[in-house]
Homo-oligomer: A and B are copies of this chain.
Amino acid sequence: MNPSKAAQISPKTRDALTAAQLYYLQDLTMDAIAHELHTSRSSVSRLLGHARETGLVEIQVRSPLDMPRQLEGDIRAAFGVTAHVVPVPDHTSDVERLDRVALSAARILGGFFDSNMSMGVAWGSTMSALSRHLLSKATHNSTIVQLNGAANPRTTGILYASEILQRFGSAFSATVQQFPVPAVFDDPATKAALWRERSISRVVEMQKTLDVIVFGLGSPFAGVPSHVYIGGYLDDDDFAQLRSTGAVGDIATVFYREDGSTDEIPLNERSSGPGLDVLRGIARRACVVSGESKLQSLRGALAAGLVTDLIVDSGTARKILAAS
C-alpha cells in the first residue's frame, strides 16, 4: 500500500518501545514517562502491558550457572531431559496448578521457536490453557501444524482445535496448518485411504519435518480423565481394549505403556496422530505436564524417549523422581 518502508511501525509500538526502555532500563516511574510522552500515566501503564504481551520486553529468570536448580538437575540425571520445574505450592487445586504450569510453559516456548521454523501442536486441556497465555513474538516464514485430528462422532472438533491453533499462529505471526480429520478413525482402511489424498498427505509429510512440537499428556485411566476421554472420541470397547493392552497414556491420541512400549496397541492403527517414531525424529519435543494424575503417563512418555524438554509443576517433578 504505502511505498515507504519505514511506515510499518505503528506509533503505538514506537511509544511502547520507548516507554519500555524508560521503565525497565532506566527505572523511571510511569508518571515520569507519561510526562515525557505527553500522555496520561494510565496510558503508560497500558502501553507497558502491551509491550510485555507483544514481546517487546523479555523477562528471564536464570539460575546462576553454578547453581542449577536441584530438581531440574536431578531430572536430567535420571531421565536425560531438560526440565523446567514450575514452583507450585502443594495444596494448590488441580485447575490452578494446570494454569500456572501452562502460563510458564507459554513463556518458555517463546525461546524454542523462531523464524523459518515449524512447530507441531497437539490439543487438549493443557494445550488450551497454554495457548491462552502465549506472548507474541514476531517471526517470519514459520508454520504451526496441527498434530492430530480433533473430529469425533459428535462434532468436527474444528472449532475447538483451531482456536488453539489460531492463538499459536497469531502469537508468532505464523501460518497455520489445520488437520481436518477424525481424532480416531472407526475403520483403519479409511485412514489409509485418506492418507493417500494429497491434501492430507501434505500435512502428514509436514509433520515429519517439524522443528519443535508441544504437547500435553493424556492419561486415560487416571482420576480426572483428560479431554480426549470425555468428548466421545473413544467408545467403551476402545477403552476396554486400551486397558487390556496395558496403555497408560497418549500423546496426540497415540498410546503407549508405562515401559514406553507401543507394540500391539491396535488403537494406534486407527489414530490420526503421528507415530511415536515420527515424534522421536523431531529435534525438540516439549512436554507440558501438571498434576499427579499424569504421573503414570509421564513415566511412560519418558521411558519411550518422547520428551526432550519437560515443563512440569514442582510436586509432580518430585514424585516422578521419588519413584525412580
> What residues make up the interface of A, taking CB atoms closer than 8 Å to B?
6, 8-9, 13, 17-18, 20-22, 24-27, 36, 51, 55-67, 69-70, 86-87, 89, 100, 103-104, 107, 138
Contact = CB atoms under 8 A, between A and B. Distances in A.
Contacts of A8: 66-67
A36 B67 CA distance: 22
A51 to B, nearest CB: 8
A26 B22 CA distance: 23
A67 B21 contact: no
A62 B67 CA distance: 28
Secondary structure dominating the interface of A: mixed
A26 B61 contact: no
B103 A25 contact: yes
B21 A86 contact: yes
Given A59-B58, A61-B21, A62-B56, A103 B27 contact: yes
A290 to B, nearest CB: 13
Contact of A62 (B58, B64, B69): B58
Contacts of A24: 59, 61
Contacts of A61: 17, 20-21, 24-25, 51, 56-58
> Which of A9, A24, A61, A66 has its CB near the most chain B CB atoms (within 10 A)?
A61
> Which of A6, A25, A60 has its CB near the most chain B CB atoms (within 10 A)?
A25
Nearest to A101: B26
A13 B104 contact: no
A25 B58 contact: no
Contacts of A25: 59, 61, 86, 103-104, 107
Given A24-B61, A59-B24, A62-B56, A69 B100 contact: no
A318 B21 CA distance: 18
A87 B18 contact: yes
A24 B27 CA distance: 16
A86 B87 CA distance: 36
A48 to B, nearest CB: 11
